[in-house]
Amino acid sequence: MTFSFAHNNFNVRDLNRSLEFYRKALGLTEVRRKEAADGSFQPAFLSDGHTPHQLELTWLRDWDREYNLGDNEFHLAFTVDDMDAAHALHQEMGCICYENKDMGVYFISDPDGYWIEIVPAKK
Question: CB of 21 within 8 A of CB of 121?
Answer: no
pTM to 2 decimals? 0.93
Question: CB of 12 within 8 A of CB of 58?
Answer: yes
Tens-binned pLDDT, residue by residue, of the chain (123 aa): 887 889 999 999 999 999 999 999 999 999 999 999 999 999 999 999 999 999 999 999 999 999 998 887 888 999 999 999 999 999 999 999 999 999 999 999 999 999 999 999 987
Q: Is CATH 3.90.1300.10 the right assignment for the domain spanning 7-63+72-120?
A: no
Domain boundaries, the chain: 7-63+72-120
